[in-house]
């Protein structure tokens, strides 16, 4: 352990403390002293901390010392210095810890000030410290004295927090007090009105309000991060009195402005500044959130750069403003596309207040110019309304999420991020959903769509993601793809595949390479590209890609088979949601292509319980298919299976009469076939089975040419 060096003549050192052999004094604090000792029982060096002899008889000091030891002993984390044992005698109190031969962060920062070297690598150690403090918070413990001299870094990159002398339990109640023997046995350890800690690392509320919270520890961590980035303190504080006098003058400058010649990533500077917000409500509300931002930095995720502020009332902000008919609902709505393009990673921020009678508002991302979806239908819409949020693609609803936090006449902060392979929504800084998206977005417009004016909007801002060292490698080919430069996109995807073999980036590049080949109408090569995803962690994308290839070939039967294979192979794969959403999307989208398509995808949705059989879309489809009562009782699944001539499905449902009918359909003289034909041609059933009635009537009169691809298998069979 590397506290302040303390040189004590060997004559003054005790030979033993308990059964431990004293080797040297490591350091002294205000209340205790730390020795390097040898434990003959375990034959190892240990660090031993005891009360300074001149303070041993002071009851409050003894109590505080024991409290520190017992709190530390209750925290078991790799980055919190462990306590082996606590020993108390009439003449001595001490506790024993591992001996780590390292340097404090304070010593390391002093060395870096001399060498002027980069300190960015220390941020990883800082992240370890944050995890340890988060663990302490989960146990109800506030450290209250986080600073570089209380962080030890060993020669093998061990990172340890120690000195819990000022630690306290947070959010104590009468019930939790009884569960904490440390506080129950020492109720007078914290004196009311006493400010404890180090002034230069202390949160304002601790000084002004004598209030300790999780945000107080976060503030101290912000000071440490600021020092790591700049090698300077964010402010100068001489005393509590001086701080109270100058509190309104104290200002924290951006680390980049303070140390422009040092390597300071903007994202880390933002994390430090948010942690150092004067008001605790403006800091991170938990260490989990702070850690998430730090991990985004290490994962290479993009930082957000302000790009534009759009105003629905300013005509110049919008290239396209028209009244359109929405898919599915067939309602009229105002549709607005931005005049500027925002390619790549995009974040939308706004403040919305819905009024009574509002049907909501949709935020558009990645929309191509004037509805030209370039084949993949990947324009995304996040539709917000009181109590509910809908995620849509090309106007088709993929997900419906309950959102009780969106209330009438209650303003809500909206934050939508389309980042790499995902889209997420936060309402009032709370994550509502996070879904994967692997189809590249082919448009670069953002926009709004709404049915009424029963809402108020403030500050509609657009941010774009900066480039980064890792996942951003896909940005360049994705941009080529979005601009229909498919040959260039293909070449770049190929480079990424070879550079990141069997890694996430390479596998996603392989999938998008296949999509590029589809756009080039090189179908066989695309299928080979998707085949490379076989038996990898992105195996779901193989079957999504193959399904899209058969869609390109207008072979819906094979497309549906690909999705069904994925549903069977990847039952517990989190990426299976991509297949589920694609099937739902295709059920709605294929209504514009043929009559058979919606039924193929609807059957998958019902069979695999991806959608409720009472869903309006299912009921609409089934409502168009009447069935004869003499074939048995039919569920929605049975009706669709019969008309698709899916014998195995009917067998699994136990519909034997329907099975027999399909088996004898080629025999015009079979009793079931005769009954069926009579039932169709009987006048009362003309409205119920209008399509088949017209087909059979036209066949009889030979006056109508029937386009076979427009009808279901059963209808085609009957026509033949």
- Residues annotated catalytic, as ranges: 145
From residue 338, how far is each of 443, 480, 557, 560 by CA, in Å? 11, 21, 39, 36
CB 155 within 8 A of CB 175: no
CB 147 within 8 A of CB 106: yes
**For residue 220, which of 145, 299, 281, 302 has the smallest C-alpha distance?**
145
Contacts of 444 (CB under 8 A, 6+ apart): 341, 342, 343, 366, 368, 482
Contacts of 718 (CB under 8 A, 6+ apart): 665, 692, 695, 696
Label residue 568 left, alpha or beta by phi (over 0 means left) and psi (-120 to 50 means alpha). Answer: alpha
Question: How many C-beta neighbours within 10 Å does residue 710 have?
Answer: 13
**For residue 153, which of 118, 114, 117, 127 has the smallest C-alpha distance?**
127
From residue 558, how far is each of 377, 543, 561, 639 by CA, in Å? 20, 11, 5, 21
Label residue 161 left, alpha or beta by phi (over 0 means left) and psi (-120 to 50 means alpha). Answer: beta
For CA atoms 663, 667, 669, 673, the dihedral sign is: positive
The rounded distance, in Å, linking the Cα atoms of 455 and 136 is: 44
**For residue 27, which of 4, 10, 50 has the smallest C-alpha distance?**
4
Helix then strand then coil, % of the chain, to nearest 5: 45, 20, 35
CB 661 within 8 A of CB 676: yes
Contacts of 8 (CB under 8 A, 6+ apart): 24, 25
With tokens 């977005």, the residue in question is 441
From residue 214, how far is each of 81, 196, 206, 217, 247 by CA, in Å? 21, 16, 11, 5, 21
CB 401 within 8 A of CB 423: no
The rounded distance, in Å, linking the Cα atoms of 200 and 221 is: 12
Give the strand pairing for 141-142 and 387-393: unpaired
Task: Sheet with 93-98: list strands edge to edge.
Answer: 16-17, 20-28, 32-39, 44-51, 93-98, 85-88
Q: Phi/psi of residue 643, each to 5°?
A: -75, -20
Residue 62 token pair: 């003894």
From residue 72, how far is each of 139, 308, 499 by CA, in Å? 11, 50, 47
Per-residue b/e over 423-433, b at no fewer than 16 CB within 10 Å?
bbbbbeeeebe
Contacts of 609 (CB under 8 A, 6+ apart): none
Residue 469 token pair: 């060292």
Helix (H, G, I), strand (E, B) or coil at 720: coil
The rounded distance, in Å, linking the Cα atoms of 538 and 189 is: 56
């Amino acid at each position: 352990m590397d506290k302040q060096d303390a040189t004590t003549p060997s004559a003054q050192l005790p030979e033993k403390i308990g059964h431990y052999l004293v080797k040297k004094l490591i350091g002294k604090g205000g209340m205790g002293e730390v020795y390097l000792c040898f434990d003959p029982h375990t034959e190892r060096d240990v660090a031993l901390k005891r009360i300074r002899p001149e303070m041993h008889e002071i009851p409050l000091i003894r109590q505080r010392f024991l409290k520190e030891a017992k709190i530390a002993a209750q925290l078991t984390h790799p980055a919190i210095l462990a306590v082996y044992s606590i020993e108390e005698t009439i003449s001595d109190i001490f506790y024993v810890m591992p001996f780590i031969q390292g340097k404090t962060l304070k010593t390391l920062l002093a060395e870096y000030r001399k060498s002027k070297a980069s300190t960015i690598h220390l941020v990883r150690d800082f992240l370890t410290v944050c995890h340890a403090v988060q663990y302490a918070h989960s146990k109800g413990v506030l450290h209250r004295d986080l600073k570089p001299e209380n962080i030890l870094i060993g020669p093998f990159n061990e990172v340890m927090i120690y000195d819990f002398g000022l630690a306290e339990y947070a959010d104590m109640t009468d019930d939790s007090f009884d569960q904490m023997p440390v506080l129950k046995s020492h109720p007078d350890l914290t004196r009311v009105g006493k400010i404890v800690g180090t002034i230069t690392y202390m949160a304002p509320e601790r000084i002004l309000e004598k209030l300790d919270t999780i945000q107080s520890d976060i503030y101290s961590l912000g000071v440490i991060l600021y020092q790591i980035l700049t090698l300077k303190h964010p402010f100068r504080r001489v005393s509590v009195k001086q701080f109270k006098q100058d509190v309104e003058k104290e200002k924290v400058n951006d680390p980049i402005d303070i140390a422009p010649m040092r390597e300071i990533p903007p994202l880390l500077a933002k994390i430090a500044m948010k942690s150092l917000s004067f008001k605790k409500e403006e800091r991170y509300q938990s260490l989990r959130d702070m850690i998430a931002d730090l991990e985004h930095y290490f994962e290479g995720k993009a930082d957000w750069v302000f790009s534009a502020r759009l105003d629905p009332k300013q005509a110049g902000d919008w290239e396209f403003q028209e009244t359109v008919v929405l898919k599915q609902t067939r309602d009229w709505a105002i549709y607005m596309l931005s005049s500027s393009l925002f390619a790549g990673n995009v974040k939308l921020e706004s403040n919305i207040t819905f009024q009574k009678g509002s049907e909501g508002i949709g935020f558009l991302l990645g929309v191509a110019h004037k509805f030209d979806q370039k084949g993949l239908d990947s324009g995304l819409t996040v539709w917000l309304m009181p109590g509910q949020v809908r995620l849509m693609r090309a106007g088709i609803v993929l997900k419906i999420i309950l959102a009780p936090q969106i209330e009438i006449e209650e303003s809500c902060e909206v934050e939508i991020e389309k980042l790499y392979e995902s889209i997420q929504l936060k309402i009032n800084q709370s994550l509502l959903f996070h879904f994967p998206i692997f189809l590249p977005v082919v448009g670069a417009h953002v926009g709004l769509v709404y049915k009424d004016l029963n809402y108020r909007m403030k500050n509609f801002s657009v941010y774009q993601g900066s480039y980064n060292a890792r996942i951003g490698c896909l940005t360049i080919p994705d941009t080529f793809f979005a601009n229909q430069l498919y040959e260039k996109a293909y070449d770049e995807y190929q480079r990424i595949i070879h550079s990141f073999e069997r890694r996430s980036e390479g596998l996603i590049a392989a999938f998008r390479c296949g999509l590029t080949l589809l756009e080039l109408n090189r179908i066989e090569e695309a299928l080979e590209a998707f085949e490379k995803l076989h038996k990898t962690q992105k195996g779901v994308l193989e079957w999504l890609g193959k399904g899209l290839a058969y869609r390109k070939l207008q072979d819906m039967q094979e497309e549906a088979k690909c999705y069904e294979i994925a549903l069977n192979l990847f039952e517990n794969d989190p990426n299976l949601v991509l297949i589920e959403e694609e099937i739902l999307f295709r059920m709605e989208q294929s209504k514009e292509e043929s009559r058979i398509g919606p039924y193929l995808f609807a059957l998958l949705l019902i069979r695999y319980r991806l959608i409720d059989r009472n869903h309006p879309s299912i009921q609409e489809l089934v409502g168009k298919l009447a069935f004869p009562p003499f074939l048995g009782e039919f569920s929605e699944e049975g009706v669709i299976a019969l008309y698709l001539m899916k014998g195995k499905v009917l067998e699994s449902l136990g519909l034997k009469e329907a099975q027999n009918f399909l088996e004898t359909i080629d025999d015009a003289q079979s009793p079931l076939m005769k009954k069926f034909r009579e039932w169709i041609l009987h006048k009362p059933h003309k409205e119920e089975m209008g399509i088949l009635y017209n087909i059979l009537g036209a066949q009889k009169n030979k006056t109508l040419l029937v386009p076979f691809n427009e009808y279901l298998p059963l209808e085609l069979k009957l026509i033949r």
